[in-house]
A and B are shown apart, each in its own frame.
Chain A
Amino acid sequence: MAFNSFADFIAMGGYGFYVWLAYGISFLCLIILIFNTLAKRKKIFRVVTQRIAREERINKAKKMEGTL
């Protein structure tokens, strides 16, 4: 272990601000990228499901037209 206490670890030998800034922003960026990727997948699923539902409604309506 390179540090004697938790406070030492946070202080990073006086460079705490720079080290944690670098690590913090990096992981924030990676987390945003991961969520963006997952959100895109969800959106595609939603759009395609909606499109299928819409086509089914149109088909149903077409069938009804003949009966009226």
Chain B
Amino acid sequence: MWKWLHPYAKPERSYQLAGKLLPWFIVLTIITFSAGLVWGLLFSPADYQQGDSFRIIYIHVPAAMMAMAAYSSMAIAAFVALVWQIRLAEMTVAATAPVGAVFTFIALFTGAAWGKPMWGAWWVWDARLTSELILLFVYLGIIALYNAFSDKLLAGRAASILTLVGVINLPIIHYSVVWWNTLHQGATISKFAKPSMAPEMLWPLLIMILAFAALLGALTLMRFRNEILTRESHRPWVRQLIQHNMNITENY
């Protein structure tokens, strides 16, 4: 497996692989977003208690889940980067962080817009909300730290260390609704139990989770490619690639 995996530690190969995967992620994103939004907004029935306000769930839950998934993948990449000194892993950390930060913000904002009509307050200092806010600050810290160094080797290492430190927040977010008495409801979908949700509401939610996952993948691949080009911009292969692309656009 190492023999097969090894060439992808070369930036050029990774750039090309990311480019090959990208269209599939974009197509999947477009299909799942359109299907999930139409089903969730138009066809799924209103909740018997929350009425139509529950439709916010179709962006709130997927954004929150993928914000945490993005962080988990960043943590794995940061570990790989620090232990095996693989620069491409550092680049994936830098590429994923802004996407995760935006997803976290969306989860917080949609939560506030849902909390106002249901709880009567935009914001409460509850365990789930506070730990999610900390996740946003950790994301912003990682992005700021990575941009603070002009030496990207140092920047990558610093950002990776901060990413690993921030992992402690993930179980806190996940179990916050169990450990503390919170206003936020418990998990609706669980790996172990039957979901406590009607199938006609659950299906669009699952599609929207897939949509956000595909979007996370697509944006991360795009930013990963940007990161490779920036950090390798003095290499001949990057110069050739850019010159070639520029010639194509000039001819049209």
Contact = CB atoms under 8 A, between A and B. Distances in A.
A and B associate: yes
Interface residues of A, number: 31
Contact of B226 (A14, A26, A41, A49): A41
B53 interface: yes
A30 interface: yes
B7 interface: no
Contact of A19 (B56, B222, B230): B56
B53 A12 contact: yes
A49 B243 contact: yes
Main secondary structure of the interface of A (DSSP, over half): helix
Given A1-B43, A33-B219, A49-B246, A26 B53 contact: no
Interface string B17-32: 0000000000000000
B210 to A, nearest CB: 16
Contact of A12 (B44, B45, B52, B63): B52
B139 interface: no
B99 interface: yes
A68 interface: no
B109 A15 contact: no
Interface string B100-117: 001001100110011011
B233 A18 contact: no
Interface of A: 1-3, 9, 12-15, 18-19, 21-23, 25-26, 29-30, 33-34, 36-38, 40-41, 44-45, 47-49, 51-52
